[in-house]
A and B are shown apart, each in its own frame.
Chain A
Amino acid sequence: MNILNNTYHEIIMLMSIGLFISTAEYLVKIKIFATDGLLSWNVMQIRWENSSKNWLAQTAFKFINPRGLSAIFVLRCILLLALAFAPVGSLNAWLCLTGLLITVLLSSLVTFYGSDGSDQMTLLIIVTLFLVFCPIGHANPTLLKIGIWFVGLQSCLSYAVAGLAKLFSNEWRRGTAIKDVFNTRTYGSPWALSLLNNRPWLNKFLCWNVILMETLFPLSLFLPFPLAVCFWIWGFTFHFLTAVIMGLNSFLWAFMATYPAIYFIHTQLA
């Protein structure tokens, strides 16, 4: 039971740090939700035309404006801080998780453009935590294990799918993909590009490194501990470098939050 609680504690802490940063970033960029912003509700509501008669949706839509969303984001930050201090499995922690889930679902009504894989992983973790710590289930060990297995397997699936998709891509196999991405102002950086430019062997090595490690990552659930650790260190390095070079800071926290689950599954299978 202690191991289970510790695993959940680590998942919650890592996920919370990432979500706190991500939420604060949205608060800084709150103008994108303004009437003249990129994600103005005047346009985004078209997607929810069919739900316009649903009272629950109507209530939710009232919050989708810069002031309402600011309140949601501030509330989320407070809940994340409270969650960090609430004992794992306590009613207070579950209430924080419920509040978090509501705020995440509310903001997702308007952020379907602009959200990324880290947001999805975070949502997936929050829903899992909400379900397994619901007072009806009394956080029984079976329920807690199911939740950990779900998070760990989703993480492994994400790596495997990303790796296989790259394996079927000409650009990744040829070894040009990483340099091409680093060449963009959106996700690249001049210094990283200068390292790869005119070094085709390094491009190929990095592309195949990502393909192989991502595709084989699920093996870390079964491999002997020293080999499994190699995959986890690779995973951390990969996310750290994508944060430094590509600015994908939230992926580091969202995916690292799944590693305690992967470690738990590994200890169960060992």
Chain B
Amino acid sequence: MKTEFTTELVYTGVVGLLLALWFIATVICQFRESKASNFIRHHLDTFGMIPLWTFFAPSPGKRDYHLLFRDKYTDQSVGEWQQMEITEERKLWSCIWNPQKRDKKVISDVVQNLVSTMPHYRSGEGDYRLLMFSMPYLIVLHAVSLCKRVPETESRQFMLAESCGYIKETDPAFILLSVFHQI
């Protein structure tokens, strides 16, 4: 009986400590540029258990992202730009059931990750080409390379673009233009 009580007490203490550390780590990680936050996120948080609670701040997403691609054929001619259909318009019942939000969030996360890493690759001379080995770039390339093609397709180029949304206050702009990749 006494052993059981001690085990229960020790376990309660351990869980209390664990949850306290988790809470402290969450507080630290809200300062996303700090060294401690980077260390926790990149070395300790394997399963993404430390949240970042800064929803839609400091800069809310004000753009829609678009993924376009075009093909180069064996005769070296280049085809028209085609848009990869990622998003569907939301329906009335999206407040209860909204599977489309996943695709939108994936592409939005990937593009934001790509945009945030671009300055890092631009900073060193010649480093920019290394962007092609980054994970978000590869995700986009992989997705477009598996879209329908004709037998004459030799290589494919993609473009990431952004647009303003319903009210066009600014023109659409491109974020990234890839080289032609053999597919």
- Are B19 and A114 in touch, CB under 8 angstroms? no
- A243 at the A/B interface (Cβ < 8 Å)? yes
Q: Which residues of B contact A140 (CB under 8 A)?
A: 8, 12
> How many angstroms from the CA of A112 to the CA of B135 in the assembled complex?
12
- Are A185 and B87 in touch, CB under 8 angstroms? yes
Q: Which residues of B contact A116 (CB under 8 A)?
A: 105
- Are B51 and A32 in touch, CB under 8 angstroms? no
User: Interface range on chain A: under 10, 10 to 19, 20 to 34, or 35 or more?
Assistant: 35 or more
Q: Which residues of A contact B126 (CB under 8 A)?
A: none
A 92-125 to B, binary, CB cutoff 8 A, 1 in contact else 0:
0000000000000100110011111100110110
Q: Which of B70-78, B108-116, B174-182 contacts A (4 or more CB under 8 A)?
A: B108-116
> How many angstroms from the CA of A24 to the CA of B8 in the assembled complex?
37
- Are B139 and A38 in touch, CB under 8 angstroms? yes
Q: A113-B109, A172-B57, A185-B64 are in contact. Are A46 and B135 (CB under 8 A)?
A: yes
Q: Which residues of A contact B113 (CB under 8 A)?
A: 113
CB distance from A145 to the nearest CB of B (A): 10
- Are A131 and B18 in touch, CB under 8 angstroms? yes
- B152 at the A/B interface (Cβ < 8 Å)? no
> How many angstroms from the CA of A162 to the CA of B26 in the assembled complex?
13
Q: Main SS of chain A's interface residues?
A: helix
B 99-122 to A, binary, CB cutoff 8 A, 1 in contact else 0:
111111111111001000000000
- Are B51 and A114 in touch, CB under 8 angstroms? no
Contact for A28 among B11, B27, B99, B135, CB less than 8 A: B99
CB distance from A61 to the nearest CB of B (A): 14
- Are A136 and B102 in touch, CB under 8 angstroms? no
Q: Residue on A with the closest CB to B106?
A: A114
CB distance from B27 to the nearest CB of A (A): 7
17 contacts between A and B (CB under 8 A): A24-B97, A38-B86, A43-B138, A113-B105, A127-B49, A128-B19, A131-B18, A146-B12, A146-B16, A165-B54, A171-B58, A177-B56, A178-B60, A180-B62, A181-B56, A193-B167, A249-B97
Please report A residues at the B interface, Cβ cutoff 8 Å: 21, 24-26, 28-29, 32, 35-40, 42-44, 46-47, 105, 108-109, 112-117, 120-121, 123-124, 127-128, 131-132, 134, 136-138, 140, 142-143, 146-147, 150, 153-154, 157-159, 161-162, 165-166, 168-172, 177-178, 180-181, 183-190, 193, 197, 240, 243-244, 247-249, 252
